[in-house]
Structure 1
Amino acid sequence: MKRSIFPRQYGFFPYVFLIYLGFPIYYLTTEAGVKQLIGYGMVLLFLVSYSQLYFAMGKRKFTYWLAVQLAIVFIFSMFYNLNYMFLGFFPANFIGWYWDKTVFKRGLISLVFVQIFPFIYHIMKTKTFFSPGELIYFIPFLIIMLISPFGIRSMNRRMELEKQLDQANQKIEELVKREERVRIARDLHDTLGHTLSLLTLKSQLIQRLTAVDPERARLEAKEMEVTSRAALKQVRELVTDMRAATIAEELLQIQQILRAAGITYRYDGEVDFSRISPFTQNIVGMCVREAATNIVKHSRATHCSISIKLTSEKMNIVVRDDGMGVTMAKPFGNGLRGMEERLALVDGVLTLSNNNGAVLELTVPIIKKAGSAAI
């Protein structure tokens, strides 16, 4: 496997800074003898440390290589030429990669020492202060060098936050997809599952009527066809655009289901459902359908009544039947548990009791907005 000088994820960026290594190499041409050889050796070591710092990001040896760079800049600035202090831009960049605030401060203090002490040393050595021209030459670059770690750290933190945000968004998308699958499964249970259960009951009835009452069997078969076509239409709507069903539409479907099962039905309520949001209508409609389907499947009832009342504070739905009631030791099956989960989305409450049959009551609060009521 071919090893690159710098990690591939950084692209061409690290190679750009190699241009600045030409300046210390140029200054070393003015030196001679052992001092020149040592200088070239330190430039080579500086290059190695620059490469290794990219590979050591986040590792313990990152600090070791950074210390090597700072030491080389310090030696060059002290014993060769003060212009070597501009090599401090290299370690200044890497100090900004420290996440820990304490370690970052230590690195910054080290950089300040490496840059400021040579100034003091040269002043004391020559016993002369820098001229205004020299100060204008050094000071602006020195200031930029010392504040650059803050900029690099801020940029890296923003990049990390963006990365975390992308990861969080991906996780949210996964959760949304998972919730959507659960919702679709629940919708299929509330539509296709209920209808298929009804068709099963009807087919069993037809088998018993075929020999004793052919005409009644023919009528039941006709109702099966109507019910199956309605189920097919519902599935198509569910799969194509997941259209939210209104309460009025669900009440019509419930009437057909109960009539097909031989259960009489009465509805009590003059509610203008246009005031209720489509989202809440879909939830309430599905819950009422679930209740009606449970009556058909489990209650052995002959009559069912549904009443819906809307006040300024809440919407109240009561579903009654004259069947055998519910066993309070374990009243909630998967269907009723799904109803509770749906109602929780709109802060709704479900209660189940017995009173000459089962009584299911749904209560959904009304949220008032800007002087008007909205559910």
Structure 2
Amino acid sequence: MKWSIFPRQFGFFPYIFLIYIGFPVIYLTRETGVKQLIGYGMVLLFLVTYRQLYFSIGKRKFTYWLAVQLAIVFIFSMFYHLNYMFMGFFPANFIGWYKEKTAFRRGLLGLVGVQIIPFIYHVVQTKTFFTPAELIYFVPFLIIILISPFGIRSMNRRMDLEKELDRANQKIEELVKREERVRIARDLHDTLGHTLSLLTLKSQLVQRLIAVDSERARLEAKEMEVTSRAALKQVRELVTDMRAATIAEELLQIQQILRAAGITYQYDGDVDFSKISPFTQNIVGMCVREAATNVVKHSRATHCSISIKLFSEKINIVIRDDGMGVRNNHGFGNGLRGMDERLALIDGVLALSNQNGAVLEINVPIIKKEGAAV
């Protein structure tokens, strides 16, 4: 396992907070002697607790490291300077990671003590109250520090709920597929089982009648032809009944996918998809879904919009995002290449460009036969 300063799943977030460690280091330059050395030692220990807290989230050691971090903030605020109270932002962030209410309340209570007691201590020590200017300086920081654990906890709960929703949707899809396979097997058995058994019996009868009664054998063979044609018709009806997903259904799935990824979604279109053939809808729907999946996986976008317009001669789909755009316009990836191959079946074309993000445009001709769209 490769060593790392912080867990990779947190990205650059832990490194950004390290900037604020520079402030206590600067403050300590004003101290002298043993007090300064102890201060630098506590800063180093604080850095250790900061790293270890990320690696111990959800473990028993998490509380121990958090207690050490709170103690360091308390000592700095009490015996060095009240300005060190801003370091409470660090433990406030980690307190929000507690999932159990009891542990969260205990951590919050500890944070309140670490922040409030130094206030009281400095008032008693100096025997003077804070001036209005000092209150304006300290109180907003104190309020933000004390409410930030609630924000972090709410954000983490939302992320957990989104993960549970994704797992639930995957399970639902698996159950739907399983149910569909069972339904197809049941329909095939009920529809064709009796017919195929009848054809088997008649074929055996024809073999016996050929030598003794050729006319009756001919009639039985004719009945077998009629029965087999009826069975073929039943199979076609069964396959036709296996309806592919429509564009409207795919748009609903796309909305859920983007929302789960934290990407805002906007749809622009008032199209009656019933005018488009099921085959065309199936291909267009798969392409739009693939485009939305690419936005989630590769774009780093925060917003995605889909526009669908139906003209007399074509259907136009435009998918836009505000991400990092397309780095290589000369070759399609596997996903886009697959979309291009699907669209070729219905004479559709796609174009990919950069306009403050990626823009994917799809145009599919609408062919009309005998007054109906095909």
Regarding TM over 0.5, the answer is yes
Quick one: distance in 1 between partners of 2:165 and 2:55?
Answer: 25
Displacement of 1:67 in angstroms is 0.3
Name the aligned partner's letter for residue 7 of structure 2.
Answer: P
Quick one: distance in 1 between partners of 2:59 and 2:174?
Answer: 32
What is the 5 A alignment of 1:149-160? 149-160=149-160
Displacement of 1:241 in angstroms is 4.8
Quick one: distance in 1 between partners of 2:99 and 2:119?
Answer: 30
Quick one: distance in 1 between partners of 2:239 and 2:9?
Answer: 43
In structure 2, the partner of 1:104 is 104
Name the aligned partner's letter for residue 47 of structure 2.
Answer: L
Quick one: distance in 2 between partners of 1:44 and 1:70?
Answer: 14
Displacement of 1:101 in angstroms is 0.8
Quick one: distance in 2 between partners of 1:153 and 1:242?
Answer: 45
What is the 5 A alignment of 1:265-276? none
In structure 1, the partner of 2:265 is none
Name the aligned partner's letter for residue 153 of structure 2.
Answer: R
In structure 1, the partner of 2:199 is 199
Name the aligned partner's letter for residue 82 of structure 1.
Answer: L
In structure 2, the partner of 1:25 is 25
What is the 5 A alignment of 1:242-261? 242=242
In structure 2, the partner of 1:269 is none
In structure 2, the partner of 1:172 is 172
Q: How many residues align?
A: 244
- SS of aligned partner of 2:5: coil
Name the aligned partner's letter for residue 76 of structure 1.
Answer: F
In structure 2, the partner of 1:41 is 41
Displacement of 1:207 in angstroms is 2.1
Quick one: distance in 2 between partners of 1:239 and 1:63?
Answer: 60
In structure 1, the partner of 2:295 is none
What is the 5 A alignment of 1:4-83? 4-83=4-83
Over alpha carbons, which structure has the higher Rg?
A: 1
Quick one: distance in 1 between partners of 2:231 and 2:48?
Answer: 72
Name the aligned partner's letter for residue 140 of structure 1.
Answer: P
Displacement of 1:164 in angstroms is 0.8
When structure 1 is superposed on structure 2, of 185-194 and 111-120 the one drifting more is 185-194
Name the aligned partner's letter for residue 191 of structure 1.
Answer: T
In structure 2, the partner of 1:210 is 210
Displacement of 1:213 in angstroms is 1.7
Quick one: distance in 2 between partners of 1:147 and 1:40?
Answer: 29
Name the aligned partner's letter for residue 99 of structure 1.
Answer: K
Quick one: distance in 1 between partners of 2:6 and 2:189?
Answer: 57
1:227 equivalenced with 2:230 (yes/no): no
Quick one: distance in 2 between partners of 1:105 and 1:91?
Answer: 13
Quick one: distance in 1 between partners of 2:164 and 2:127?
Answer: 54
Q: What are the ranges of 5 or more consecutive residues in structure 1 without an aligned counterpart?
A: 244-375
Quick one: distance in 1 between partners of 2:44 and 2:2?
Answer: 22
Quick one: distance in 2 between partners of 1:43 and 1:241?
Answer: 70
Quick one: distance in 1 between partners of 2:122 and 2:15?
Answer: 33
- SS of aligned partner of 2:66: helix
Q: TM-score, normalised by structure 2?
A: 0.63
Name the aligned partner's letter for residue 105 of structure 1.
Answer: R
Displacement of 1:21 in angstroms is 0.7
Quick one: distance in 2 between partners of 1:99 and 1:48?
Answer: 23
TM-superposition CA deviations, 1:26-77 (whole Å, max 9, x none):
1011111211111111111111111111110110000000001100000000
Displacement of 1:209 in angstroms is 1.9
Quick one: distance in 1 between partners of 2:154 and 2:125?
Answer: 38
In structure 2, the partner of 1:161 is 161
TM-superposition CA deviations, 1:83-108 (whole Å, max 9, x none):
10000001001111111111111111
Quick one: distance in 2 between partners of 1:97 and 1:223?
Answer: 74
Q: What are the ranges of 5 or more consecutive residues in structure 2 without an aligned counterpart?
A: 244-374
In structure 2, the partner of 1:190 is 190
In structure 2, the partner of 1:342 is none
1:132 equivalenced with 2:132 (yes/no): yes
Displacement of 1:203 in angstroms is 1.0
Quick one: distance in 1 between partners of 2:185 and 2:22?
Answer: 67
Quick one: distance in 2 between partners of 1:88 and 1:166?
Answer: 35
Quick one: distance in 1 between partners of 2:75 and 2:125?
Answer: 15
- SS of aligned partner of 1:5: coil
Percentage of matched positions with identical amino acids: 86
Displacement of 1:212 in angstroms is 2.3
- SS of aligned partner of 1:25: helix
Q: TM-score, normalised by structure 1?
A: 0.63
What is the 5 A alignment of 1:320-331? none
- SS of aligned partner of 1:31: coil
Displacement of 1:141 in angstroms is 1.0
Name the aligned partner's letter for residue 60 of structure 1.
Answer: R
